[in-house]
Amino acid sequence: MTLSTTRTTAALLAALLVLATVGGAFAVGGAAAVPDARITVGEVGTSPSDPTVGERTALNVTVSNSGGSDAAANVTEVRVRNADGDVLDSVSGVGALSAGDSLDATLWTTFEEPGAERLTVEAVANQSTSGELVTVSRDAVIEVLPTDVALDLRTRALDPEDLQSDDEGEASTGDLGVGGIQGIFGGGGGLDTGEGDESAPPVADSPVEVTVVNTGTTTADRVSLRAVGTAVDAGDGDSEAATETVSVGPFVVEDIAPGEERRVIVDLGPLDRRSNVTVTAAFRADTDDLGDGTDRAATSTVTYPVREATPTVTDATVREVGDGAVVVDANLGNAGSAEMTGAVVSVGDAPGVEPTPTGEEYFVGSLGASDFVGFDLSTAVNASVADEIPIRVTYTERGVRYTETLTVAAPEPDDDAESGGALGRIGTGGVGAAGAVASGLALVGLAGAVGVAVRTGRIGGSTGRRRDGSAP
Examine residue 6 and state whether it is found in any structural domain, yes or no: no
- Given 304, 338, 353, which residue is the final one in a domain? 304
| pTM of model > 0.85 | no
Q: Quick one: average pLDDT of 218-244?
A: 72
Examine residue 393 and state whether it is found in any structural domain, yes or no: yes
One domain for residues 70 and 116: yes
CATH number of the domain enclosing 241: 2.60.40
- Given 144, 176, 198, which residue is the final one in a domain? 144
Query: d(Cα 263, Cα 265) in Å, to the nearest integer?
Result: 7
Q: Quick one: average pLDDT of 215-228?
A: 87
- Three-state SS at 429: coil
One domain for residues 156 and 290: yes
pLDDT band at 175 (very low <50, low <70, confident <90, very high): very low
- Three-state SS at 107: strand
Examine residue 132 and state whether it is found in any structural domain, yes or no: yes
**Using an 8 Å Cβ cutoff, are 149 and 220 in contact?**
yes
Q: What is the pLDDT of residues 361-398, one digit of tens each?
A: 999 999 999 999 999 999 999 988 899 999 999 998 87
One domain for residues 320 and 387: yes
One domain for residues 328 and 288: no
Residue 286: which residues within 8 A CB-CB, separation 6 or more?
A: 221, 293
Query: d(Cα 431, Cα 416) in Å, to the nearest integer?
Result: 17
pLDDT at 372: 94
Examine residue 50 and state whether it is found in any structural domain, yes or no: yes
| Sheet strand arrangement including 340-347 | 362-367, 340-347, 388-397, 400-409
CATH number of the domain enclosing 401: 2.60.40.150
- Given 263, 283, 304, which residue is the final one in a domain? 304
pLDDT at 356: 92
One domain for residues 290 and 339: no
Residue 386: which residues within 8 A CB-CB, separation 6 or more?
A: 350, 351, 352, 353, 410
Number of structural domains in the chain: 3
Query: d(Cα 369, Cα 461) in Å, to the nearest integer?
Result: 9
One domain for residues 136 and 221: no
Q: What is the pLDDT of residues 284-316, one digit of tens each?
A: 875 544 444 456 889 999 988 878 899 999 999
Q: What is the pLDDT of residues 310-351, one digit of tens each?
A: 999 999 999 988 888 999 999 999 998 889 999 999 999 999
Whether the predicted pLDDT of 451 surpasses 60: no
Q: Which residue has the higher pLDDT, 400 or 384?
A: 384
One domain for residues 155 and 61: no
One domain for residues 387 and 439: yes
One domain for residues 361 and 242: no
pLDDT at 412: 81
pLDDT band at 440 (very low <50, low <70, confident <90, very high): very low
**Which of 418, 412, 360 shows the shortest CA–CA distance to 387?**
412
Whether the predicted pLDDT of 203 surpasses 80: no
The CA–CA distances, whole Å, from 255 to 214, 220, 223, 226 equal 10, 6, 6, 16
One domain for residues 109 and 127: yes
One domain for residues 174 and 279: yes
Examine residue 9 and state whether it is found in any structural domain, yes or no: no
Examine residue 121 and state whether it is found in any structural domain, yes or no: yes
pLDDT at 201: 53
pLDDT at 242: 55
CATH number of the domain enclosing 45: 2.60.40.10
Examine residue 13 and state whether it is found in any structural domain, yes or no: no
Examine residue 3 and state whether it is found in any structural domain, yes or no: no
* Chain mean pLDDT for the chain: 73
One domain for residues 447 and 388: yes
The domain of 420 spans 311-452
pLDDT at 402: 84
